[in-house]
């Protein structure tokens, strides 16, 4: 595979994540809000929240959104399969679900056969959990992405498979989910092996995370860097629940792991107890460190994306960016923003992870005692402002510095390297066809300008562009295509054209698909 083809594949993969990311953002916001408003600490401060009806509504929403979010990997599987498959996307999506469920079961079988299936009380400590009723490794988005990629591959590879007459019924598209199922079995047995090696490696290097000088920086770098693989939960569990996070003596009792000790200090003893002096060293691996990302870094990145968005596209970019920023700010869910540039600009994600580590090191000497494990604005208000001896103002000072650094680094990188982050595509000119939403007419003009149906191999779209593969680009009449109202037409590579329609692109894409199906 040449460099250009690889780049095209990565871009296509990045676009395939937009659908699950779009779901994560609003649902995550609701989940964050309901989670905060049902906490006992919040109810004590706001009397009307204690109303049984209000709590019933909030808890119901919390349960509904929680279930959806617990199954985000399944949404990733379907989104990636839909985006990556070149032909029958429906069978690809179906196969991705089958593949994901197969993956969960195969991993469960592996854990059972090897005696590694943990008890219910300890499974979270070793990166296991119950997913769709199956105890398995918590692969998170990585599991869904693997399933989606495999399903897309099997769809394109085996869609026209012909079998001997006795088995002919199972040929064609029916063979795709079966191929996905059988390919997933060895993959499912291989993943726990790789996962186990990573876990052992993290345990081996865990003393580095607890170093008094740079440990917290290494921890938060690794935590961010492992997000694409779903291994950040393993890292967090190792530090929170095992000896790797330290053994602490509090009131004559031994507490293993950071979280166990932190819960004792925060919820049982409180700021007036002598043990509170341990709080800053414990909490820097929990809420204090996370709040730097959710409350300061994510908004800074969002603002950089907005300011570098093309002028004509700022309106639609503003809504998308604001949603993913609020999802982190209110719900402690950073993945929608991170995944929005992770695959489009992986180098930028590495810089992001490194900065997260370096900019967390000052937590060592600022004596910030904001507890709990989440990083929302509500948790800052509850555990920062309402608790005594938290030195919350130091978090704001450090956060502002983080905001400035992340803003200027991202703004420079996006402009300097011309990265296609949210809003970095040209907007729309005023056009009668677009204004009147005559998408059928637009589709006819586009197809005719591209040399007719017979010259079009594949039609795809991203946030604002039609991306079309052609048989012969010499047959394209660019001026005719411009009559459709597009604000831009260009060839990023041979026999591949981009036609820009901004926020209307999905409607134009649907109309083009409908027009292509006509006889």
Catalytically active residues, by annotation? 462
Q: CA 304, CA 317: separation in Å to the nearest integer?
A: 12
CB proximity list for 190: less than 8 A, separation 6 or greater:
none
Q: CA 387, CA 371: separation in Å to the nearest integer?
A: 9
CB proximity list for 39: less than 8 A, separation 6 or greater:
378, 382
Q: CA 506, CA 335: separation in Å to the nearest integer?
A: 24
In 3-state terms the chain splits into helix, strand, coil percentages (rounded to 5) of 70, 10, 25
Q: Where are the alpha helices (DSSP H) in 114-231?
A: 141-158, 175-209, 215-225
How far does CA 309 lie from the centroid of its chain? 21
Q: List phi, psi (to 5°) of 436.
A: -90, 0
Q: List phi, psi (to 5°) of 310.
A: -65, 145
The two tokens of residue 82 are 């839909």
The two tokens of residue 110 are 């592996």
Q: Which of 448, 488, 494 is nearest to 469 (CA)?
A: 494
How far does CA 35 lie from the centroid of its chain? 20
Bridge partners of residue 136, in order along the sequence: 129
Burial class of 100 by CB neighbour count within 10 A (0 to 12, 13 to 18, 19+): buried
CB proximity list for 33: less than 8 A, separation 6 or greater:
330, 331
Burial class of 218 by CB neighbour count within 10 A (0 to 12, 13 to 18, 19+): middle
Could you tell me the maximum CA-CA distance found in the chain, to the nearest angstrom? 82
Cβ atoms of residues 439 and 514 within 8 Å: no
Q: CA 91, CA 429: separation in Å to the nearest integer?
A: 37
Which SS3 state, helix, strand or coil, does residue 367 take? coil
């Amino acid at each position: 595979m040449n460099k250009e083809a690889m780049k095209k594949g990565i871009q296509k993969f990045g676009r395939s994540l937009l659908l699950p990311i779009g779901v994560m953002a609003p649902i995550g916001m609701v989940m964050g809000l309901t989670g905060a408003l049902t906490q006992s600490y919040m109810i004590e401060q706001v009397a009307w929240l204690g109303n049984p009806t209000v709590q019933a509504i909030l808890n119901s929403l919390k349960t509904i959104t929680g279930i959806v979010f617990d199954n985000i990997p399944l949404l990733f599987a379907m989104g990636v399969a839909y985006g990556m498959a070149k032909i029958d996307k429906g069978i690809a999506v179906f196969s991705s679900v089958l593949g994901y469920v197969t993956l969960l079961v195969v991993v469960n079988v592996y854990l059972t056969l090897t005696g590694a299936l943990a008890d219910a009380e300890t499974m979270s400590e070793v990166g296991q959990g119950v997913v769709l009723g199956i105890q398995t490794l918590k692969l998170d988005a990585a599991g869904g992405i693997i399933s989606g990629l495999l399903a897309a591959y099997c769809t394109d590879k085996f869609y026209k498979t012909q079998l001997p007459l006795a088995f002919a019924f199972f040929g064609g598209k029916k063979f795709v989910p079966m191929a996905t199922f059988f390919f997933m079995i060895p993959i499912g047995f291989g993943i726990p092996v790789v996962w186990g090696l990573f876990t052992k490696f993290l345990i081996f290097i865990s003393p580095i995370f607890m170093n008094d000088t740079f440990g917290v920086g290494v921890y938060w770098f690794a935590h961010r860097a492992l997000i694409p693989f779903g291994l950040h939960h393993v890292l967090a569990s190792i530090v929170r629940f095992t000896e790797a996070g330290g053994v602490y003596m509090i009131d004559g009792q031994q507490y293993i792991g950071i979280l166990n000790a932190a819960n004792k200090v925060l919820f049982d003893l409180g700021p007036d107890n002598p043990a509170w002096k341990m709080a800053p060293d414990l909490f820097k691996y929990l809420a204090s460190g996370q709040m730097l990302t959710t409350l300061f870094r994510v908004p800074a990145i969002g603002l950089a994306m907005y300011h570098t968005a093309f002028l004509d596209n700022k309106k639609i970019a503003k809504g998308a960016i604001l949603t993913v920023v609020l999802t982190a700010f209110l719900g402690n869910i950073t993945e929608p923003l991170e995944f929005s540039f992770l695959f489009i600009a992986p180098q930028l994600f590495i810089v992001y992870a490194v900065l997260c580590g370096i900019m967390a090191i000052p937590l060592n000497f600022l004596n910030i005692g904001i507890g709990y494990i989440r990083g929302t604005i509500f948790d800052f208000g509850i555990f920062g402002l309402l608790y005594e001896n938290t030195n919350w103002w130091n978090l704001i000072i450090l956060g502002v510095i983080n905001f400035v650094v992340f803003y200027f680094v991202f703004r420079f990188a996006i402009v300097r390297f011309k990265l296609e982050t949210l809003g970095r595509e040209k907007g729309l000119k005023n056009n009668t066809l677009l204004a009147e939403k005559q998408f059928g007419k637009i589709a006819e003009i586009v197809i005719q300008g591209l040399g007719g149906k017979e010259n079009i191999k594949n039609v795809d779209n991203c946030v604002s562009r039609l991306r079309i593969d052609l048989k012969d680009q010499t047959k394209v009449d660019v001026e005719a295509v411009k009559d459709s109202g597009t604000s831009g037409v260009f060839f990023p590579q041979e026999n591949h054209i981009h036609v820009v329609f901004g926020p209307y692109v999905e409607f134009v894409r649907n109309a083009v698909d409908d027009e292509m199906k006509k006889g």
